[in-house]
Amino acid sequence: MKIVIILIPFLIILLAFWCSQFLRLMRMNTEDFQSKEDKAIWAVSMILLNVLGAVLFWISLKPKRVELLQLNEDIYENAKQKFPDNVREIDLALKLPSDKRHDFERWCGKKSESVLLGYYKQSPADVDPSWFGVLLAVLTAKQLETENS
C-alpha cells in the first residue's frame, strides 16, 4: 500500500511531463525541424516510447532558428529607435521565451500593416507590455520591408 501512495504521484508527474512535451511538439510547425518528416517521427516516437520519447525530445531539441532570432533582435533595435517612448515594452518583448515571442511574431506577421497600426493606436494599457513590444517590432519590420521594396 505504501508503494501505491508513492507511485501514484510519480506517475501523475510523468504523465504531466509527457503531455507537456507532446503538446509542445504539436504546437511546433514542420518548418521548425530540419526535415519535413521530423515532426511525424517525433510524434510516433513519443507515442511508442512514452516517457522515454518525451525525455529524448526534451533533451535533443535545440532552440529553433537562431539566425532568425538574431535578425529579430536587429529589428527590435530598429523598433527602439523608431518608437523611443516604448523602449521598455520592446525590452520586455526580448525577454519573452523565444517560442512565445516567435508565435506572436508569426501571428502579427499575418496581419496587414494597417491592422497593426490600428492595434498600435489602441491604448497599450489594454495589452501586455511584452506583447506590445513584439507588435512594435513586427510593425517596424513590415515598414522596413515596404521601404526596401
Spell out the domain ranges in the chain.
Answer: 2-60, 66-144
pLDDT at 53: 94
The low-confidence residues of the chain, meaning pLDDT below 50, are: 63-71
C-alpha to C-alpha distance for 68 and 83, rounded to whole angstroms: 22
pLDDT at 149: 62
pLDDT at 122: 74
pLDDT at 95: 87
Pick from 47, 48, 65, 77: nearest CA to 140: 77
pLDDT at 12: 93
pLDDT at 5: 87
Look up residue 140 and give its three cell numbers: 517596424
C-alpha to C-alpha distance for 92 and 145, rounded to whole angstroms: 24
Q: For the segment 110-135, what is each residue's pLDDT rounded down to a tens digit?
A: 777 778 778 777 766 677 888 888 88
C-alpha to C-alpha distance for 33 and 112, rounded to whole angstroms: 27
Pick from 47, 58, 56, 70: nearest CA to 20: 58
Cβ atoms of 133 and 93 within 8 Å: the answer is yes
pTM beyond cutoff 0.85: no
pLDDT at 100: 82
The type of residue at 35 is S
